Structure 1
Amino acid sequence: MELTVFGASGGVGREVVRQALDAGHEVTAVVRDPARLGVAAHDRLRVAVIADLTDEDALLPVLSGRSAVISALGAAGNKQARLAPVTGPALRAIVSAMDRAGVSRLAAVSAAPVGPDVTDDGWFSRKVFLPLLRRALRDLYADLAVMEAAIRASGTQWTVIRPPRLLNRPGTGRYRRVVGANVPGGRVIARADVADALLTSLADPSTLHQAVGVAA
């Protein structure tokens, strides 16, 4: 496939680029600062610098002729999401530009707390831990909720991946996945496994128009 990856210089995005290249795909990595990509040069890798991801006209050249789009965009923290939301505004522009470019398949990373609680998780998780987490990171999750709403309202063939806390450790390929819900007892997952979930969802029709929970 010919893939465009947004947020390619982030932790999940770099893993997506590496794994996609290893799988034989052609990759356009969209970044603001190419020095932060951290992926070795490759004959199937193109790096595109776009400073403003809300500029649809600037997005069109990196979308035209693509097979699919992966968004690994996300705010660096709650403060950034509060002062300058990134993910929601960017995805509004990206899905509109995808429509103009004739690209339909999209996989995007969100976060487990944006989704509904899992009843099997128990009282403490549902009534104490998650409410505190959602309050502490309310601006970050609000930005992701805007992103998800923009994706659902689009004409794309979308999949949203919702992981819990992300860890910098080797991927296992043995993570749990639940289509349409969060993973019971899911607390952490490796960024490399989230990247795998994003890539494998592109060829999995069961994930179309679904939010998919993933966790170790």
Structure 2
Amino acid sequence: MRLTVFGATGGVGQEIVGQALAAGHEVTVVVRDPARLPEAFGARALHGAVPLDDPAAVRGAVAGRDAVLSGLGSRSRKADGVAERLTGRIVDAMEAEGVRRLLVVSAVPVGPVPAGEPLVDRLARKAIGAVLADLYADLARMEAALERSATEWTSVRPPKLTDGPCTGVYRTAVGGAPRSSRSISRADVAHAMLGLIDDPAAVRQGVGVAY
């Protein structure tokens, strides 16, 4: 497939690119600073790399692609509208070029509480939500904007992210979250995103992922 990946220097973004290249996909990346790309994603591996702050280049990067994947998000607890704003740029570029399939990273607390969620997990969700309220509000606005868009989006919602390996073994819940969602590796989030590209059940849905 021909894929464009946003946020390729971040934890999830690097995993998406690495796994996509290993699977033989043609990958173009859009990043804030191309100089920060890992050496493994060199010119011989990538189809191309363009800066996020160049609207014309971004449009060119998504044109004719089979899917666009985004690992963009805030690098701190102070979101400052990063997810909503940057995802808006992606959607504008995709709609201008007639590209439909989009997968983004969100977070489990943005979705509904699973039925039968144990009290300890409900309390933990509430506590984390208070600490990261700004971050989750930004992600919720991002998802609301996606719902208003013409894209065939999927919002992948992980809980706490770890630096563990890609196992390919995790739970998913379309439209919700797995019960007692506590953690998942960035590598497995990337694996899930790539696996959901061709899943019609995930289109215009949030998908919870967790161990």
Using the size of structure 1 for normalisation, the TM-score is 0.92
User: Aligned-pair distance for 1:58?
Assistant: 4.2
Distance in 2, Cα, partners of 1:47 & 1:13: 15
CA-to-aligned-CA distance 1:32-90 (integer Å, 9 cap, x gap): 222332251253413423243xx6444211111211100111101212x1xx3211011
3-state SS of paired residue (2:47): strand
Cross-structure match for 2:128: 133
What is the alpha-carbon distance in structure 2 between the residues aligned to residue 178 and residue 117 of structure 1?
12
Structure 1 pair 207/77, CA: closer, same or farther in 2 (3 Å)? same
Alpha-carbon distance change, 56 to 34 in structure 1, aligned in 2, over 3 angstroms: closer
- Correspondence 1:26-175 to 2 at 5 A: 26-40=26-40, 41=42, 43-52=44-53, 56-79=55-78, 81=79, 84-126=80-122, 128-175=123-170
Runs of 4+ in 1 over 6 A off after TM superposition: none
For 1:60, give the aligned amino acid.
Answer: R
TM-score normalised over the length of structure 2? 0.94
SS of equivalent residue, structure 1 residue 108: strand
2-side partners of 1:168 and 1:136: how far apart?
22
Between the two proteins, the alignment pairs up a number of residues equal to 210
Q: State the one-letter code of the partner of 1:34.
A: P
Per the TM alignment, residue 4 of structure 1 is displaced from its structure 2 partner at its CA by 0.7
Distance 1:12 1:38, change over 3 A: same
**1:69-113: per-residue Cα shift (whole Å, max 9, x none)?**
00111101212x1xx321101111211210111100011110001
- CA distance in 2: counterparts of 1:108 and 1:51, whole angstroms: 16
Gaps of 5+ in 2: none
Per-residue deviation, residues 122-170 of structure 1 (Å, max 9, x unmatched): 22322x2111111100111111111111111111111110000000011
Q: Percent identity?
A: 50
